[in-house]
Protein backbone atom coordinates (compact mmCIF):
# COMPACT_ATOMS: atom_id res chain seq x y z
CA UNK A 1 0.00 0.00 0.00
CA UNK A 2 2.86 2.38 0.89
CA UNK A 3 0.77 5.43 1.65
CA UNK A 4 2.91 8.53 0.99
CA UNK A 5 1.65 10.33 4.11
CA UNK A 6 2.75 7.42 6.29
CA UNK A 7 6.14 7.15 4.61
CA UNK A 8 6.70 10.90 4.94
CA UNK A 9 5.92 10.79 8.69
CA UNK A 10 7.98 7.69 9.55
CA UNK A 11 11.19 8.47 11.47
CA UNK A 12 14.43 6.53 10.99
CA UNK A 13 16.87 6.34 13.90
CA UNK A 14 20.32 5.01 12.98
CA UNK A 15 22.23 2.74 15.36
CA UNK A 16 19.32 2.10 17.74
CA UNK A 17 19.12 0.08 19.94
CA UNK A 18 22.58 -1.13 18.90
CA UNK A 19 25.08 -0.10 16.20
CA UNK A 20 24.07 -1.24 12.72
CA UNK A 21 20.30 -1.27 13.33
CA UNK A 22 18.24 1.29 11.38
CA UNK A 23 15.26 1.64 13.73
CA UNK A 24 11.94 2.56 12.13
CA UNK A 25 10.16 4.70 14.72
CA UNK A 26 6.37 4.42 14.40
CA UNK A 27 5.77 6.84 17.29
CA UNK A 28 5.80 9.62 14.69
CA UNK A 29 2.87 7.85 12.98
CA UNK A 30 1.02 7.43 16.27
CA UNK A 31 1.31 11.11 17.24
CA UNK A 32 -0.36 12.21 14.01
CA UNK A 33 -4.16 12.07 13.96
CA UNK A 34 -4.04 11.90 10.15
CA UNK A 35 -1.62 8.94 10.16
CA UNK A 36 -3.61 7.11 12.84
CA UNK A 37 -6.80 7.48 10.79
CA UNK A 38 -5.08 6.29 7.62
CA UNK A 39 -3.62 3.20 9.33
CA UNK A 40 -6.80 2.31 11.19
CA UNK A 41 -8.98 2.72 8.10
CA UNK A 42 -6.60 0.70 5.89
CA UNK A 43 -6.44 -2.11 8.45
CA UNK A 44 -10.20 -2.09 8.88
CA UNK A 45 -10.69 -2.44 5.11
CA UNK A 46 -8.35 -5.45 5.04
CA UNK A 47 -10.00 -7.28 7.96
CA UNK A 48 -13.64 -6.12 8.15
CA UNK A 49 -14.99 -9.24 6.41
CA UNK A 50 -12.68 -11.84 8.00
CA UNK A 51 -14.78 -12.49 11.11
CA UNK A 52 -12.05 -11.39 13.54
CA UNK A 53 -13.08 -12.07 17.15
CA UNK A 54 -9.75 -11.31 18.88
CA UNK A 55 -6.92 -8.94 18.03
CA UNK A 56 -3.64 -9.84 19.72
CA UNK A 57 -1.25 -6.91 20.10
CA UNK A 58 2.46 -7.57 20.57
CA UNK A 59 4.17 -5.51 23.29
CA UNK A 60 4.28 -2.65 23.16
CA UNK A 61 3.76 -0.81 19.89
CA UNK A 62 1.29 -3.48 18.79
CA UNK A 63 -1.02 -2.34 21.58
CA UNK A 64 -1.66 1.10 20.09
CA UNK A 65 -3.27 0.21 16.78
CA UNK A 66 -4.27 -3.31 17.85
CA UNK A 67 -6.66 -2.08 20.53
CA UNK A 68 -8.18 0.60 18.28
CA UNK A 69 -8.65 -1.93 15.47
CA UNK A 70 -10.28 -4.42 17.86
CA UNK A 71 -12.88 -1.81 18.81
CA UNK A 72 -13.55 -0.92 15.17
CA UNK A 73 -13.89 -4.63 14.23
CA UNK A 74 -16.13 -5.40 17.22
CA UNK A 75 -13.52 -7.83 18.56
CA UNK A 76 -11.79 -8.37 21.88
CA UNK A 77 -8.20 -7.30 22.49
CA UNK A 78 -5.50 -9.57 23.94
CA UNK A 79 -2.06 -8.44 25.09
CA UNK A 80 1.02 -10.51 24.27
CA UNK A 81 3.61 -9.19 26.72
CA UNK A 82 7.18 -9.61 27.82
CA UNK A 83 7.83 -12.21 30.50
CA UNK A 84 6.52 -11.38 33.96
CA UNK A 85 4.16 -8.55 32.93
CA UNK A 86 0.85 -10.45 32.85
CA UNK A 87 -0.81 -11.15 36.23
CA UNK A 88 -2.59 -14.49 35.62
CA UNK A 89 -1.41 -17.91 34.40
CA UNK A 90 0.39 -17.68 31.05
CA UNK A 91 1.85 -19.62 28.18
CA UNK A 92 5.29 -18.45 27.09
CA UNK A 93 7.63 -18.65 24.14
CA UNK A 94 11.31 -17.68 23.93
CA UNK A 95 12.76 -16.39 20.66
CA UNK A 96 15.83 -14.72 19.17
CA UNK A 97 15.62 -11.21 17.79
CA UNK A 98 18.10 -9.17 15.76
CA UNK A 99 19.88 -7.99 18.89
CA UNK A 100 19.23 -10.55 21.62
CA UNK A 101 16.93 -13.14 23.17
CA UNK A 102 13.48 -12.49 24.65
CA UNK A 103 10.41 -14.26 26.04
CA UNK A 104 6.78 -13.30 25.50
CA UNK A 105 3.64 -14.52 27.24
CA UNK A 106 -0.11 -14.63 26.77
CA UNK A 107 -2.79 -15.46 29.33
CA UNK A 108 -3.90 -19.10 29.26
CA UNK A 109 -7.55 -18.04 28.99
CA UNK A 110 -7.08 -15.37 26.30
CA UNK A 111 -8.27 -17.28 23.21
CA UNK A 112 -10.82 -20.00 22.47
CA UNK A 113 -10.98 -22.54 19.63
CA UNK A 114 -13.88 -20.70 17.95
CA UNK A 115 -11.87 -17.45 17.75
CA UNK A 116 -10.62 -15.88 14.55
CA UNK A 117 -7.41 -14.13 15.59
CA UNK A 118 -5.54 -11.21 14.10
CA UNK A 119 -1.97 -10.84 15.40
CA UNK A 120 -0.73 -7.25 15.07
CA UNK A 121 2.65 -5.60 15.56
CA UNK A 122 4.50 -2.59 14.24
CA UNK A 123 7.37 -4.15 12.30
CA UNK A 124 8.40 -7.31 10.45
CA UNK A 125 12.15 -7.75 10.07
CA UNK A 126 13.35 -11.28 10.87
CA UNK A 127 9.94 -12.37 12.20
CA UNK A 128 11.20 -13.60 15.58
CA UNK A 129 8.75 -11.92 17.96
CA UNK A 130 5.71 -12.45 15.74
CA UNK A 131 6.64 -16.09 15.11
CA UNK A 132 6.79 -16.58 18.89
CA UNK A 133 3.38 -14.90 19.27
CA UNK A 134 2.01 -16.99 16.38
CA UNK A 135 3.27 -20.17 18.09
CA UNK A 136 1.57 -19.13 21.33
CA UNK A 137 -1.75 -18.39 19.61
CA UNK A 138 -1.65 -21.65 17.64
CA UNK A 139 -1.57 -23.55 20.97
CA UNK A 140 -5.20 -22.44 21.49
CA UNK A 141 -6.25 -24.05 18.16
CA UNK A 142 -8.23 -21.03 16.94
CA UNK A 143 -10.31 -21.45 13.81
CA UNK A 144 -8.14 -18.97 11.86
CA UNK A 145 -5.07 -16.77 12.42
CA UNK A 146 -4.10 -13.69 10.40
CA UNK A 147 -0.95 -11.59 10.82
CA UNK A 148 -0.48 -7.87 10.24
CA UNK A 149 2.34 -5.36 10.52
CA UNK A 150 2.48 -1.64 9.93
CA UNK A 151 5.95 -1.96 8.33
CA UNK A 152 7.75 -4.79 6.56
CA UNK A 153 11.49 -4.36 6.11
CA UNK A 154 12.98 -6.00 3.03
CA UNK A 155 16.71 -6.34 2.72
CA UNK A 156 19.69 -8.56 3.24
CA UNK A 157 19.03 -11.03 6.05
CA UNK A 158 15.49 -9.75 6.59
CA UNK A 159 13.24 -12.50 5.31
CA UNK A 160 10.60 -12.35 8.03
CA UNK A 161 7.79 -13.85 5.96
CA UNK A 162 9.76 -17.04 5.45
CA UNK A 163 9.48 -18.10 9.12
CA UNK A 164 5.68 -18.51 8.84
CA UNK A 165 3.59 -21.31 7.38
CA UNK A 166 2.97 -20.86 3.64
CA UNK A 167 -0.81 -20.75 4.18
CA UNK A 168 -0.56 -17.95 6.77
CA UNK A 169 -2.06 -14.70 5.45
CA UNK A 170 0.27 -11.78 6.25
CA UNK A 171 -0.44 -8.15 5.38
CA UNK A 172 1.59 -4.98 5.82
CA UNK A 173 0.78 -1.31 5.30
CA UNK A 174 4.31 -0.22 4.35
CA UNK A 175 7.13 -2.14 2.68
CA UNK A 176 10.56 -0.60 3.00
| 49-175 classified as CATH 3.40.50.2020 | yes
Residues tagged active-site: 61, 98
Backbone dihedral region for residue 65 (phi beyond 0: left; psi -120 to 50: alpha; all else: beta): alpha
Number of H-type helices and E-type strands within the chain: 5, 9
pLDDT, tens digit, for every residue of 44-102? 999 999 999 999 999 999 999 999 999 999 999 999 999 999 999 999 999 987 667 89
Least confident window among 11-15, 106-110, 113-117, 159-163: 159-163
The answer to pTM > 0.85 is yes
Amino acid sequence: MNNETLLKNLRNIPNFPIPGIQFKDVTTLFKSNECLKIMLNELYEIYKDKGITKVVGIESRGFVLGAALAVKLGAGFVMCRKQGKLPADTLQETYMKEYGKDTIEIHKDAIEEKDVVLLHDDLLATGGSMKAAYNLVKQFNPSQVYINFIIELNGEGLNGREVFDKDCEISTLLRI
